[in-house]
Every structure is written in structure tokens, then in C-alpha cells.
Amino acid sequence: MKLAKLSLSLLGAALLFSSAALANDSNKSTLNLSDKITVEGKTLDAGKYTIVWDGAGPNVQVTVLRNKQTVATFPAHVVDQPARNTEDAYSANSEPDGSHSLTAIYPNGKRFSIALGTAQAAAQPSTTANSK
């Protein structure tokens, strides 16, 4: 009887920890920049980045990492999309000086985008640059 209770407790703990680990991975994506991009006043060079976002509601805090080092942090909004994103992508605005500023991130396999500034920015991915 004690063995059965112990086994059930261990199984429950294993399920709890594995679901927590999966939930953490669901707030993580890759961002492959093809050009230099400005984010909240910081310039990110072209290359591969990891993004992680925290928050359960429409307002989230996004952290951009390169080689496990934080390079930018900014507030953003989660905006529902009608279909799943088919790949990791982003959109950017061209500035008058020729630079580009990040407006939204489209995580692969998700039915939402992460919009910087106003939520309307993610609703129009006309300047989307694919990560491939």
C-alpha cells in the first residue's frame, strides 16, 4: 500500500515538472534577422536570436537573447492571428534614415504575433521578413 502511494506521488510529481517545462518552452522562439534592426533604441545585428516572453495576458515582456546573453528587453502585445504562423518571421518599418525598426514577431506554429507598440502593428504583416 505504501509502495503504491509512493509510486503515485512520484508519477504526479514527474507530470507536474514535465508540464512546467513544456509550458516554459511554449514562450520561446527563434528570431533570425536578415538585416540590422532597431528595438527600443538598441541596434541588433543580423543573425540568430532567441526570444522569450513572459505574461499571460495581451501584455507581455519580451527578452531577446544572443548566445544566452540578454541584448534587449521590451514590452509588447500578443495579437491573435487567423492561422498558425508557418515559420519564424518578423516585420519591420523602414525609417527615414534608412534603418529598420522591429514592429512584430511571428513565432513558428503559433496563432499569434508579438507586436511592439500598438496592437495594430501586428495585424498588417506587409513588411514581414522571413527568417530563412
Residue 57 and residue 125: Cα distance in Å, rounded? Answer: 22
pLDDT on residue 10: 42
Identity of residue 55: G
Q: How confident is the model at residue 68 (pLDDT cuts 50, 70, 90)?
A: very high
Q: What is the pTM of this model?
A: 0.71
Cα 88 from Cα 109, distance rounded (Å): 8
58 Cβ contact list (under 8 Å, min separation 6): 77, 78, 79, 119
- Which of the residue ranges 1-5, 92-96, 111-115 would you say has the lowest mean pLDDT? 1-5
CB 51 within 8 A of CB 29: yes
Q: Which residues are CB-contacts of 79 (< 8 A; sequence separation ≥ 6)?
A: 58, 104, 112, 113, 114, 115, 119, 122, 123
DSSP letter (8 states) at residue 96 = T
Tell me if residue 20 falls in helix, strand or coil.
Answer: helix
All structural domains of the chain with their residue ranges: 28-130
Which residue, 46, 20, 18, is CA-closest to 32?
Answer: 46
Q: Is the pLDDT of residue 22 over 90?
A: no
Q: Percentage of residues in the chain with pLDDT exceeding 90?
A: 61
